[in-house]
């Protein structure tokens, strides 16, 4: 498991999300990359062993100091998705 952006970082990693599929993982990765938040994906390629199966426990992890910022970004994205689909009503 490598930490994207800052592999030399030694801060404690915490779980941010356990994406349900590769689409959700791609969205989370894009959001974190776009905001300069270092992250690691545990068990990222396990689903390649079993095509068509969910990500089997894949976890997106961030440094503890970045967790709150990452959570806020993900919550804003979720709110925008609900508003765009009319679920907020």
- Residue 8 covered by a domain: no
In a domain, 67, yes or no: yes
Q: What is the mean pLDDT of each run of 10 residues along the chain (89 residues)?
A: 52 89 88 95 72 70 96 82 59
Kindly state whether residue 7 falls inside one of the protein's structural domains: no
Judge whether 77 lies within some domain: yes
Domain that holds residue 55: 13-85
Number of structural domains (the chain) is 1
Q: What is the pLDDT of residue 22?
A: 79
The DSSP code sequence of 29-57 is HHHHHHTT--EEEETTTGGGGSTTS--SS
Measured torsion, CA atoms of residues 71, 77, 8, 1, in degrees rounded to the nearest 10 = 90
CATH at 50: 3.30.70
């Amino acid at each position: 498991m490598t930490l994207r952006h800052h592999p030399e970082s030694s801060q404690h990693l915490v779980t941010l999300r356990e994406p349900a599929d590769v689409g959700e993982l791609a969205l989370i990765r894009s959001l974190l990359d776009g905001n300069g938040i270092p992250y690691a994906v545990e068990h990222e390629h396990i689903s390649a062993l079993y095509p068509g199966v969910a990500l089997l426990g894949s976890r997106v992890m961030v440094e503890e100091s970045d967790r709150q910022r990452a959570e806020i970004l993900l919550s804003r994205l979720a709110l925008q998705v609900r508003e765009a689909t009319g679920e907020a009503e």
